[in-house]
Structure 1
Amino acid sequence: FAFDGSWTASAPGAPGGFGFADFLLGLSENGPATFINQTDGAAQVPAQTQGRQTYRAFYVNDTWHYTSKLTLNLGLRYELQGPWSERYNRLTYWNPSQTNASVTGCQSTLVNGQPVGIPGSPCIGDVSLVQNGPNSTRNNIPLDKKEFAPRLGFAYSFSPKTVLRGGYGIFWVPNYVVFQLNPDNDLINLATTPFFGTVNNGVSPSASLDRSNCTAVGGGFAAFVASCATTGPFGAGGIIQPPGRGGNTSAFAAANGSPTLSPYLLPKPAYVQQYNLDIQRQLPGKFFADVAYAGSHGVHLSNYNPSIVINQIPDSYIAQANAQYTAACGSPTAICAFKPDIAKPVTNTLVGANASLSTATVPAGQLLRPFPQYTRLSLAGQGCCDSMYNALQVSVTRRFSGGGTLLVAYTNAKLLTNTDTTTSWLEGGTTGGVGQVQDFNNLSGEKSLSSEDVPQRLVVSYVLDLPFGKGKMWLNSLSGPANKIVSGWGIDGITTFQRGFPLKIAWGGPSTQLQQLNLGVGTQLRPNVIGGCSKSGPRTLAEWFNVDCFSAPPQYGFGSESRVDATLRAEGINNFDFAAFKRTSITESTNIEFRMEFFNLFNRPQFGFPGTSFNPASGNNAANGFGVVSSTVGNPRLIQAALKFNF
C-alpha cells in the first residue's frame, strides 16, 4: 500500500498532504501519481506453508594411473532430488486429461467456418490436488530416479613440458531454481483481493462510502459498487483468504483464469552436459601456455519466466486470420475495421466458476484454444528449451623470479539458446534484460543468441614487485632506512576488453489485433525486419544502429526479428583498473602496506543500451528513444587508499 499524502491534501489532486498522516488514518491511495479512482491495487494473503525438500546423493570416484603418462579420473554421481512437499499437502498440479469439474461449454462446432460453442459440453484439463488422480504422492513434481551423472577426465603427458587434458560430465539442475514450484507460490496458498482506495476521484475514501454516494464510473467498479453498503476498500466479502486444501481447487483455478501450475504429468528434468579438451605447454622464457576448447549443452531447460504458456491459440488459425485481414485490408499493416473470424464475438458457452470469462460473448478464437476455460495457462519449470555453448580459451602466464605474475587470457565463444537467465533481476540489468518469447507454439523458432552472449573477451592481469632494494636487481647494496625507502614497491592491475551484449529489439507500438484478443501469444511481440536493409549504423549516441530497418509486425502474426539480434550489440567493456603499493617491513613477520587503487583509471564511460522499443506511430524514432543511447553503466573513476598491517 502507498501512503503519499493524497488524503490529507487540501483538495483531491492538490499538492501537499502528509503521507504519514494518511498512514495513521489508515487511508491508502495505492496507485500511480495521478489521484484517480484506484482499482488496480490488491491485497495478497499468503498461507503459512511448511514446505520441504530432501536432497540425497551418492558419489564414487577413482583416480587411475593407467601408465606413467596417462591418468584417468572416473566418477559417477547419483542424485535423488526430493521434490517439494507441504506438511498439510497444500499443493496442486496440472492434469491435461481430466474433465474440468467447474466449467462446461468448451467444445465447439464449425458453422460457416466459424466456431460455435456447444453448451454443456465438457472442458478437458483441470487442476488437481496432490494425492488425487494420477498423482498419488504428496509432491507437485515427481521424484526422478534416473539422475545418473557420470564424470570422466583424463590427463596425458606427451613430455615433461606438454600435457593434454580433457573431461566430460553431466550435471542435473536443482529443483529449487524453479521458484514458482515452491509451496508459497501455489495458487491455493495465495489469495488476491482487489483494493479500491476511492471510487469518486478522491472526494472520500472507500471506507466512508455507502450506497447513497457510490457512483459507478466504469465497468471495472461494478463488483465493488454492488456492495458499497459495506465499509472498507475490499467490498462485501472482505479480504479473501487462501482456500488451501479444503477449498474448491477447480473453481478457484478457473476463477483465476490464468494460473501457473506444476507440470507433474509432463516431467522433463533439466540437465547440462559439460565437456572440454585442453593442451598445456611450458614455453621458453618462463612462459606457460594453455589452449582449451570448452563446451556445454543444456537440455530440457525451463523458460526464464520461469513458466511456459501452453494455452496459445494454434498458429494455423493465426495464419488464416492474417490471410483474411490482408485480403480485406489490402496490406497487413493497413488500419481497417475488418475483424477475422477468430476475433468475431460468439456466444459464451463457458459456464461455471470462471469469472475471467463471464461476459456474454467471447472472441471466437477463445473456443479454438487448447483449454478454452482458461486464458493464459502456464506451466512452471516445464523442460521446454535448450542451449549450446562453444568456446576457445587461450591463456599465457609468465611468472617472474623477482616476484610477480603476468596473465593474459582470451576467450572466443558463442552461446545459442531459446531461453535465458532466470535471475536477470539479480544481475542489475547488465545484459539489457532477456529476449522475450513471442510464439509459445514455436519455441524452436525462438532460438537465437543468448542475451548473455559474449563473443570475445581479453583480460590482462598482473602483480609485479619492482626490482629495487636489498635482494633485488637494482640498488641491492642498500641497507637501513635507505633500503626501507626504495624497497617493497609494486604495482598490480586488471585490464579488460570485451564486446558488448547483443540487443533485443521489441515492438513498442500499439497492440496488434492479435495481442488485443488475449489468446496466449507472447506479451512482447517483435517487429519485422526489412529485407536487404543493413542494420549496422553510425554507432553514435543519437543513432546506435539503423533505425529504418524495421517495420510493424502483422496485425495477426509475429515479427521476423529474432529474439536476440545477432547483428546489433551494445558498447563493450574497455576498462583499466590499477593499483600501486608499498610494503615496509617492521620485523621478519610483520609489515605495513600502503595502497592506492584506481578503478576505471582513465575515467572512460561505458555507454548503456540504446532504446530497443520500436514504435513508428510516434513518427520519429529518435524522439521515441529508439536507437538512442541515454545512459551509462559502471562507475566513473574511483580512487581509494588503504593502509594494512600484516602479521
Structure 2
Amino acid sequence: MLNAKPKFFSEFSRSPDSALAYRFSIEKEEAAMRSVIRFLASGLLLGTLCLVAAAQANQTGGITGVVTDKNGALVSGATVVVVSDATGKAERTVNTSDDGGYSVTLLPPGRYRLEISAANFKKAIIADVQVRITETARQDVSLEPGNISETVNVEATPTLINPSSATTGQALDAQTLRSLPLASPNFLFLLNLSTGVTGEPTDVRSAGRGTADVTVNGQRTSNNSVSLQGINVNDFNLAHFDTVPLPNPNALQEMKVATSLYDASQGSKGGGALGLVIKSGEKDFHWEGYWQHRNDALNANEWFRNANGLSKRARLLQNVFGGSGSGPVPKLGGFWFFNYQGVRARNGVDPAGSTLSPIIQAFPTNADGSTSAALLATSFNLAPAQIDPVALSILNVQSARFGGKYFIPRLGQTGCGGVTGGAIGTFTCQFSAIAPIKDNQYVVSYDRSMRHGKDTISGRWFWDESSVAKPYGTDTSLSNPRTDTQWNRFLAITETHQFNSNIVNELRLGFSRFLFANIPTDTINLADVGASRGNSAQFSGLYRVAITGSMSLGTGVNDDRGTVSNQYNIVETLSWIKGKHTLRMGGERIQYQLNRFNNFAVRGALTFGGTGTAALALANCRNDTNDCTAFQNFLRGRVTAVQSAFGDPARNFIATDWAGFIQDDYRFSPRLTVNLGLRWEGMSFGHDKLFRAGIYDPVLAAQGRNPFLIPEKVNLAGFVGTPGVSDCALKSCFDGNNFAPRVGFAWDINGNQKTVLRAGYGIYYQRLSNQNILQNSLAAPFTVQPLSSNANPTSLQLANPLGTIPPPSAVATAFIPQATRFAGLRRISGAGPLDINDPNVGPIFVNEAGQACTNYGGTATNCSINLASFTTVPVNPYTPYTQQWNATLQREIGKGWAVEMGYVGSHYIGGLGIWDPYIARVVSTSSPLTVRDMNGNSYTITNNTVNNEELRHQIIGLSRKRGARYSGNIGFAIYNSFQATVSRRLTHGMYFQAAYTFSRTYDNVSGSLSTDELNATRNGQNGANIYNDQSSPQQNKTRGDFDRPHRLVVSYTYDLPRTHSGFLNNVVFRDWAISGIVTYQSGLPFSITDSSTGGIYGATLGTAQFLCSSIQSAYTTGSTSDKVAHYLNPACFGTAPIIPLNTIPPSGITTNAGATGWGTTPRNAFRGPMQQNWDFSLIRRFTVREKEHFQVRMDVFNLFNHPVFRIPSGSTSVNINGGTSSFTRLLETAVPARLIQFGISYTH
C-alpha cells in the first residue's frame, strides 16, 4: 500500500459541477518543470533590471574587524583575503578603511582563512575563522612590523560573544547536529535548546517525521518562519512546521533559530526565524554511510500499558540508512555534494496514529458479548422501546479491530482495565497496532566560482516522499485507519556577483512544493447499522459519533483532505560597505499557489451530551423530562449537536507578497556598533481562482439589506457575485501598510570583545496563513455547513440524522445567502399562546422572498443562511504584528566559555481569534428588549430563553448556537522574561549549553498548537476561540495556553579525555564520547470547560462553575502517578447555573425553563504536571586509516524511564459534563518509556 501513489496525486477534476470532484492531484511533472524554467528565466531578467525584494531570512554571514599595529595604531589600506577552507578558493578580497576597519558580507557559512597584508608589515594568516548564518564574526588583527614576504600564523579563537548586533539565538553546526541524541531524522526536535523557546518534550514515538511546534518569546506557534538557503518555505496553507521541507541532519551545514531582534533582512513572521543551510561540496573527495536501528526488544514498556496489565511491549522497528558524498567536479569545475536517506519503520507506539487510550462506557452484555434493548433498558432505566435500533446496532457491530469480537470493546477483554463509577461507569483500554512508514529523500548541491572569483553560482535541490499508514489515524477515540502521504520538492539557485571589494550583489531564485493527503478508511458503514445519508453513494462510512465523557468513533470532520502548494521566490540583496557603514538593501517577491480539497464533515458528526439535571438523569430520562446522561441520550437516539456539510470541496488559491528593506550596521567606533533597519511588507489575502468566497457585513444587516458579499467576478451555474466586491470579498486583497523599523546596538564595554552590552527594539509583521480566507470560501452557497445544537432533542433520530443532502455542485442553489427577515413566532413544543417569553416558543425567519426555513430543515429554496454555520472575517482585516525588545549582557569567562543574561519581551497585536461580537443581550423586567417583525408587530422580551436567543442577538437572525462566528484581529499577548545561558561552542571535543528561561505570557486567545491557526490545540486548550463572554475579548486575558514560567534545557557533547598511562591507557578505553539533552519545565495551563454554559447567549464555549475555596485546593494530593484517575477534585466543579425566568409565561412553565449563564472558573486556572526528560548518547570512534573512521553509538531516550504526563484528558478540553468517572484523567504521556537506539557510520 505504501508503494502505490494515491489517487489524490494521479488526477484532479477541475470541473466544479462534478459530483465526484473529491479526488485531487497535481499537474504533470513536465508541466511543472516548464513552469519552474519560465519562472527562473523571468527571475534572472528581473534581478538584472532592478532590486526587487529583500532576503526573507539571510542565509549568509560575515566577518568584520579592525587591523592595527602592535602599538594599537590603525592600519588603513591593508588587504584582507578571505579563503574558504572547504574549497581552497578566495571568496572575497577587501581593503581596510581609513579607521582600519574591514567588513566582508554575504559569505556562506563555514570555516575560512584570513590573509592580511600591508606594506612594512609581516603577512598575517588567521586560520579557522567560523562564519555562521545571520552572524558577523569579529576578528581583529594586530600586524607585526617586518617584510611582507614573512608570515605569521595565528589560529582564530572561537567566541560566543556577538559584538555586532542585538540578535539573540544560537546556531548549531553540522558536527553538533550529528552528535546530539536525535531519535528521528528531524532537526526540528532541537529547536527547544535556546532560551525563550518552549514546547512539549520531544516525543520520539511519532510515526513519520513527527511534529515539533514551538513558541518563541511568547509568540504563537504559527508565528515562526522557516527559510532554506534563504528561500521562504513557510506553509501558506496552515502556518506550521508540519509540511516544510526537512533535509535530514546529515545534509545540513548549519541551522539557527534567531529568537529576537533579527535585522530588517528577515521578515514575514514575528516569532522565531529558523534558517537552514544545506552542505556544499569540498576540494577533496569525501563519503560516508550510516545506519540507525530501533527495536522494541530494547525498550521499556509504556507506562499506561503496564497500568492496564499489558506486559507485552508495543511493536517498534525503525531503520534509518543513508550516505553522503562530496568533491570537485572534473572538467566542468565547481564542487558537488549528494545525500540519500531512507527510513523504513513499523511503529506501534505513536500516540497520534498507532496507540489508543479510549474511555469506554460500560454496558451489560449476554454471554456471547452481545447486548440487547432489554439489557440496556434495565441498566439505564429506560423502556426497551426507547432504545434506538441504530444505537443498538452500533454497540453490536462485530470487528476484531481492537482485539475482541466487537468493534466497541467489552469490559474485561485484553487491554481494558476495571470499571470506574459503578456497574454503568466507564473503563479505560490500551490498544496498539502497527503503522508502516516509508520515506526516501535526496539532496544535491553544486557550487562554482567564475570570472576569477567575481561570480559564484550555487544550486540546491531537495526531493522527499514519505507515507504512513496509521491504523488509528482519525480524530476519534476508537479511530479508523488513515493513510498520510507527504511529498516535498525544493530548488534554489543563487548567483553572487562582486562588483568591487565593497559592493556585492546576491540573487536567489527558489521553488518549493509540498503535497499531502490524508485518506481515511471507514471501518463501519451506514449499511452495517441500518442507517442512511443522502451522500452515501459517495461516502458509505458511518457518521462520527461522540458521547461526551466516554467514547467517540467514526471518521473526524477534518480527516479527509489534501493539498498541493507551490511557492515561487525571487530574492535580491545588495551589500555596500562605505566607510563605517555596512549597508544591505533589497527585496523579495513570493507567489503562492494552493490547490486543496477537504471533504469536511461530509459524513456528518453527532454529539450526545448530557441534558437537564445530571443528578436526576438516571431516574428521569425514561419519563421524557430531558434529564438524561450522555449515554442515555445515545441509546435513545437523542442527538444534542449535529455538524454536516455539502458542496464542492475543492479550492484553488493564489496570492502574491512583496517586501523591501534597508539595513545599516554602523560602526560608530571600534567598540560600538549601531544597527538601523527598516522593512516594508506587502502581504496579500489569497483568493480562489473561481472567486468562491463570501463575508458577512453587519452594517448591511443592520440596514435590512443582504449582508453577504460575494466577489463580483463569480459566475457559476447562473449565480453571479455582488457588484464592486473584490476577488477575495474583502475591502482590499492587499495590505501594504506594514512598515517595520528596527534599531539596536552592541557595545564592547572594555574594547577587548569579552564583555558586550546589547539592546534593541523592532516591529515584525506576521504573514497569516490562508485559513481565515479559506473559511470564507467554505460558506454558502459554495459549501453549506449546517450546525445545530439542541438542549431538548428528539428521540430515535439515528436512522437518518442529517435529513436531505443535495448532491455536490459548484453552487448550492437552494442556499443562496440572503438577508434574514423576522416573520413572527412559532411554538416549538407543548401547547399554549405564542408568547416570546415562553421557553417553548421561538421565532420564524424567512428569506427575502418570504420563504421560511428552519435550520435547513424545510424545502424552500434560497433559505436564510443566517441559520447555518459560517465563519466570516471583518470586511477590513489587517496584518498582525509583534513588538520585540531586549537588553542582554554577554561575558566571556575564559577557555571558550561565555555567559549571557538579560531581559527579553514582546507584545503581539492583532492575532486571529474566533468570537461573536454581536452576542445575544441579557434582558430583565427592568431592562426589556423590544423587537419588531417584518409586519410591524412588536414583541417585548423579558425572559432569557434558549429559543429566543436569535431575537436577543444584536443582529437579528444571527445565532451563535447555530455556528455563526467571526475570525478577526482580536488576539493580543504580552511576554516578559529573564533569560540566561552558559555555553561553550564546540571546540576541542566539547560543546555545552545550559539555557534557563523564567517568563510570563498573558493573552486573551493563544491560537492553536498545531495543524492550523484556528483549531483548538491537541493538548486541551481552546486554541483560537474565546471563552465565556464574547462581547469583550479583552476580558479573556490571563496566562496563555503555552505559558511555562520555568524552563531549563542542558545540551552537551564531550569527547572523554584519553589517559596516557596505566590500565585505562588501552585501546578499549580510547576515543569515547558522550552527549545528551536534559529538560526540566513547568506544565502547561488548562481550563475546565462546561458544554452547557452560556445558554442564554447561544454560546457553547465556556468554563465550569467553581465550587471550592481556592484554585490550589482543587488539586488532588499525592505524586503525579497517584493523580492519574483524577488530577483535580471533581467536587470542586459544577455545571453553569440556570438563570431563572424573570416572568412566568402564560403556559405556566417555571421548572428549569431558564437557560445557563457563564461559569466562574477562570480560563487556564490550572497547570499540568511538571515535565522532565533525560536523553543520553554513548559514542565510540575507531580510526581505520588516516582518513577513514568508524563510529558506533547508542542513544537512550528517557534515560531514567520516568513517566512524563501531558495535561489531563490528553487531546480534548476537560469537560465537567463528561461525568466524574472520566474527569481530569491523565491519559497520555508526553514522551515514551525508555527507548534505545543503535547507530553506526563509516566516514572517508
Q: Same fold (TM over 0.5)?
A: yes
| Deviation, structure 1 residue 498 | 0.8
- CA change 1:635–1:129 in 2 (3 A) is same
SS of 2:1158's equivalent in the other structure is coil
Count residues with an aligned counterpart: 536
Equivalent residue for 2:1117?
538
Question: Equivalents in 2 of 1:477, 1:221: separation in Å?
Answer: 81
Partner SS for 2:864: helix
| 1:493 counterpart letter in structure 2 | G
Specify which of 1165, 1168, 1187 is matched with residue 589 of structure 1: 1187
* 1:409 counterpart = 2:995: yes
Q: Distance in 1 between matches of 2:1061 and 2:657?
A: 60
- In the alignment, which residue of structure 1 is the partner of 2:1158? 558
Distance in 2 separating the partners of 1:527 and 1:193 = 30
Q: How many angstroms does 1:555 deviate by?
A: 2.1
Give the AA of the match of 2:888. D
Counterparts in 2 of 1:180 and 1:495: CA distance versus 1, 3 Å = same
- Equivalent position amino acid for 1:310 in 2: P
- Pairing 1:524–2:1102 present: yes
Report how far residue 38 of structure 1 moved: 11
* C-alpha distance in 2 between matches for 1:554 and 1:454: 32
Relative distance call for 1:19 and 1:414 in structure 2 (3 A) is: closer
Q: 1:547 to 1:99 in 2, by over 3 A?
A: closer
- Contact residue 431 and residue 452 of structure 1 kept, 8 A: no
Question: How big is each residue's C-alpha offset from its partner over 1:197-252, in whole Å with a ceiling of 9 and x where there is no partner?
Answer: xxxxxxxxxxxxxxxxxxxx969799x89xxxxxxx974x7425342799833266
CA distance in 1, matches of 2:1233, 2:882: 38
- Cα deviation for residue 192 of structure 1 reads 5.3
Shift of 1:149: 1.4
The structure-2 alpha-carbon separation of the partners of 1:79 and 1:399, relative to structure 1 and needing over 3 Å to count, comes to: closer
Cα distance in 1 between the residues matched to 2:526 and 2:813: 40
Alignment partner of 1:50 is 2:652 = yes
Distance 2:918 2:1043 in 1: 30
Q: Equivalent residue for 1:375?
A: 959
Task: Identify if the C-alpha distance between structure 1 residues 628 and 135 changes in structure 2 by more than 3 Å, giving closer, same or farther.
Answer: same
Cα offset for 1:176? 2.1
Name which of structure 1's ranges 417-426 and 40-49 shifts more when overlaid on structure 2. 40-49
SS in structure 2 at match of 1:383: strand
Q: Find the counterpart in structure 1 of residue 1057 from structure 2.
A: 467
Aligned to 1:150: 741
What is the DSSP-based 3-state SS (H/G/I as helix, E as strand, rest coil) of the residue aligned with 2:699?
Answer: strand
**Are residue 287 (structure 1) and residue 865 (structure 2) matched?**
no
Amino acid at match of 1:487: R
Determine if the alignment matches structure 1 residue 140 to structure 2 residue 729.
Answer: yes
Matched, 1:239 2:752: no
2:786–2:868 contact (8 Å) kept in structure 1: no
CA contact (8 A) 2:638 2:795 kept: no
Please name the residue that 2:1081 is paired with: 498
Show the counterpart of 1:312. Answer: 919
- 2:767 counterpart (174, 181, 186): 174
Contact 1:282–1:288 (8 Å) recurs in 2? yes
- State the Cα distance separating 1:188 from its structure 2 match: 3.0
- The answer to whether residue 693 in structure 2 is matched with residue 91 in structure 1 is yes
Q: CA RMSD in A?
A: 4.3
Check the 8 A contact 1:47/1:184 in 2, yes or no: no
| Matched-pair contact (CA < 8 Å) for 2:772–2:873 | no
How many angstroms does 1:152 deviate by? 1.7
Mark the CA change 1:78 to 1:374 in structure 2 (over 3 Å): closer, same or farther: same
Tell me if structure 2 keeps the 8 A contact 1:309–1:520. Answer: no
2:211 counterpart residue number: none
Structure 1's 291 and 46: CA in aligned 2 closer, same or farther, altered over 3 A?
A: same
Whether 1:68 and 2:670 are equivalent positions in the alignment is yes
Q: Pick from 243, 249, 256 the counterpart of residue 817 of structure 2.
A: 249
Deviation of 1:587 (Å):
2.5
User: Which of 865, 870, 886 is 1:276 aligned to?
Assistant: 886
| d(CA) in 1 for partners of 2:722, 2:1016 | 43
Q: Which residue of 2 aligns with 1:604?
A: 1202
**Which residue of 2 is the match for residue 646 of structure 1?**
1243
Q: Which amino acid aligns with 2:759?
A: G
Distance 1:48 1:450 in 2: 35
Q: 1:491 and 1:551 mapped to 2: Cα distance?
A: 52
- CA separation in 2, counterparts of 1:369 and 1:530? 33
Q: How does 1:177-216 map to 2 (within 5 A)?
A: 178-181=771-774, 184-191=777-784
Residue 30 of structure 1 aligns with which residue? 543
Deviation at 1:417, TM superposition (A): 0.3
Determine if contact 1:292/1:394 at 8 Å carries over to the other structure.
yes
Distance 1:46 1:613 in 2: 35
Contact residue 573 and residue 606 of structure 1 kept, 8 A: yes
- The runs of 5 or more residues in structure 1 that have no matched partner are 1-6, 101-121, 195-216, 226-232, 325-340, 352-360, 469-473
1:129 is matched by which residue type in structure 2? Answer: I
- Partner residue, 2:1039: 449
Question: 1:397-448: per-residue Cα shift (whole Å, max 9, x none)?
Answer: 2468642122211100111000012344579966433375111112121111
Does the Cα contact within 8 Å between 1:46 and 1:191 map onto a contact in 2? no
Query: In the TM superposition, what are the counterparts of 1:353-372 in structure 2 within 5 Å?
Result: 363-372=947-956
Shift of 1:96: 1.7
Aligned position for 1:128: 709
The whole-number CA distance in structure 1 between the counterparts of 2:946 and 2:954 is 15
AA in 1 matched with 2:763: I
Answering whether residue 1230 of structure 2 is matched by residue 633 of structure 1, we say: yes
Structure 1's 378 and 73: CA in aligned 2 closer, same or farther, altered over 3 A? Answer: farther
| Counterpart for residue 434 of structure 1 | 1022
For 2:655 and 2:867, how far apart are their aligned partners in 1?
A: 29
Residues 613 and 422 (structure 1), Cα distance of their counterparts in 2 relative to 1, 3 Å cut: closer
Q: More deviation in 258-267 or 159-168?
A: 258-267
Distance in 2 of aligned mates of 1:190 and 1:22: 26
Distance 1:193 1:301, change over 3 A: closer
In structure 1, distance between residues paired with 2:653 and 2:875: 21
2: CA distance, partners of 1:253 / 1:66: 69
Q: Who is 1:334 aligned against?
A: none
Partners of 1:604 and 1:551 in 2: CA distance: 34
Work out the CA distance in 1 between the residues paired with 2:906 and 2:1174.
31
- Given that residues 817 and 863 in structure 2 are in contact (C-alpha distance below 8 angstroms), is that contact kept between their aligned partners in structure 1? yes
Q: How does 1:286-365 map to 2 (within 5 A)?
A: 286-303=896-913, 307-314=914-921, 317=922, 320=924, 349=933, 363-365=947-949
Task: Output the CA distance in 2 between the equivalents of 1:292 and 1:460.
Answer: 18
Give the Cα–Cα distance (whole angstroms) in 2 for the partners of residues 638 and 38 of structure 1. 46
Which AA in structure 2 matches 1:538?
Answer: T
Task: Tell me what 2:974 maps to.
Answer: 388
TM (norm. structure 1) is: 0.71
Following the alignment from structure 1 to structure 2, what is the Cα–Cα distance between the partners of residues 424 and 391? 24
Shift of 1:258: 3.9
TM-score by length of 2: 0.39
The partner residue of 1:418 within 1004, 1010, 1019 is 1004
Task: For 1:284 and 1:404, locate their aligned partners in 2 and report how far apart those are by CA, in whole Å.
Answer: 14
Aligned position for 1:165:
758
C-alpha displacement at 1:582, in angstroms?
A: 0.6
Post-superposition Cα deviations, 1:564-623, rounded to whole Å, max 9, x if no partner, equal 11xx321122211111001111223221110011100010111332357464996xxxx4
Percent of matched pairs sharing the same residue: 22
The one-letter amino acid of 1:520's match is G
Whole-Å Cα distance in 2 between the matches of residues 38 and 543 of structure 1?
A: 29
How far, CA to CA, are the matches of 2:660 and 2:986 in structure 1? 44
User: Could you tell me whether the CA contact under 8 Å between 2:1044 and 2:1081 is conserved in 1?
Assistant: yes
